[in-house]
A and B are shown apart, each in its own frame.
Chain A
Amino acid sequence: MSFLRALGRIRVLLKKEFLQTLRDPRTRFLLFGPPVIQMMVFGYAATLEVKHVAFAVLDHDNTQESRDFVAKLKASRYFTLEKYVRQKEDLRNGIDRGDFLIGVQIDSGFAQDLRGGKGAQVQVIVDSTNSNTALVGMGYVSQIGQAFAQEYSRQQMGRLSPATMNLVPKVELEERPWFNEGFESRWFFVPGVIGNLMLVLVLNLTAFAVVREREIGTLEQIMVTPIRRWEFILGKTLPFFLIGVFDATLVSLVGTLWFGVPFRGSVPLLAGSTMLFLLSSLGVGLFISTISANQQQAMVTAFFFIMPATTLSGFGTPISSMPPFFQKLTYLDPLRYYMIVLRSVYLKGVGLDVLWPQLAAMSVFAVVLLSVSVMRFHKSLD
Chain B
Amino acid sequence: MSLRRILAIMRKEFTQIRRDPRSLAIIFVLPLVLLLIYGYAVNLDVKHVPLCVFDRDGTQDSQDLLKAFQATEYFDVVHVARNYREVVEKIDTGECEIAVVIPHDFSQDLREAGGTSVQAILDASDSNSANIALGYTQAIVAAYSNRVQVEWAQRRGLPAPASVLDVRPRTWFNEDLESMATIVPGVVALVMAVVGAFLTSLTISREWERGTMEQLISTPVKALEIQIGKLIPYFLIGMVDTAVCAAAGVALFRVPFRGSWAALFGSSALFLVAVLSLGYWMSVVAKSQLAASQMALVATFLPTFLLSGFLFPIDQMPVVVQGITRALPARYYVTILRDVFLKGTPVRMFASELVALSMYALVLVTLATRAFQKRLE
Residues of A with Cβ closer than 8 Å to B? 24, 26-27, 30, 34, 38, 41-42, 44-54, 69, 95-98, 114, 117-136, 138-139, 141-143, 145-146, 148-149, 152-153, 157, 164, 166-181, 183-185, 187-188, 196, 200, 204, 208, 212, 295-297, 299-301, 303-304, 306-308, 310-312, 316-318, 320-323, 326, 340, 343-344, 347-348, 350, 354
Contacts and interface: CB of A to CB of B under 8 A. Distances in A.
Nearest to B145: A171
Nearest to A65: B165
Interface in B178-202: 178-179, 181-182, 194, 198, 202
Given A173-B117, A183-B130, A188 B125 contact: yes
Given A48-B313, A122-B166, 15 more contacts: A26-B291, A49-B128, A96-B349, A97-B349, A114-B164, A121-B165, A121-B166, A122-B167, A124-B170, A131-B44, A138-B169, A141-B167, A168-B152, A317-B311, A323-B41
A323 to B, nearest CB: 6
A171 B117 contact: yes
A72 B138 CA distance: 19
Interface stretch (B47-55, B230-238, B357-365): B47-55
B interface, over-half SS: helix
Contact of A354 (B92, B119, B174): B92
A191 B297 CA distance: 21
B94 to A, nearest CB: 7
A24 B286 CA distance: 11
A169 B41 contact: no
Interface magnitude class on chain B:
35 or more
Given A143-B138, A183-B127, A311-B41, A49 B316 contact: yes
A139 B135 contact: yes
Contact of B94 (A48, A52, A340): A340
Give me the 5 closest cross-chain CB pairs, A-B, nearest first: A149-B165, A177-B124, A128-B174, A180-B124, A48-B128
A71 to B, nearest CB: 15
Contacts of A143: 135, 138
B148 A139 contact: no
Contact of A168 (B50, B149, B198, B324): B149
Interface in B124-161: 124-132, 134-135, 137-139, 141-142, 144-145, 148-149, 152-153, 158-159, 161
Nearest to A51: B316
Nearest to B171: A128
A122 B168 CA distance: 6
Nearest to B324: A41
A307 B120 contact: no
A227 B84 CA distance: 60
A107 B308 CA distance: 37
Given A126-B171, A187-B127, A145 B165 contact: yes
A interface, over-half SS: helix
Nearest to B21: A297
Contact of B132 (A51, A139, A166, A316): A139
B252 to A, nearest CB: 14
A317 B42 contact: yes
B263 interface: no
Contacts of A129: 173-174, 181-182, 338, 342-343
Contacts of B287: 24, 26
Contacts of A308: 33, 37
A138 B131 CA distance: 12
A176 B119 contact: yes
B277 interface: no
B355 interface: no
A303 B121 CA distance: 40
Contact of A316 (B46, B173, B311): B311
Interface string B289-318: 111011101100110011100011101111
A144 B120 CA distance: 20
B177 A169 contact: no
Contacts of A132: 44, 128, 179, 182, 313
A174 B101 CA distance: 10
B13 interface: no
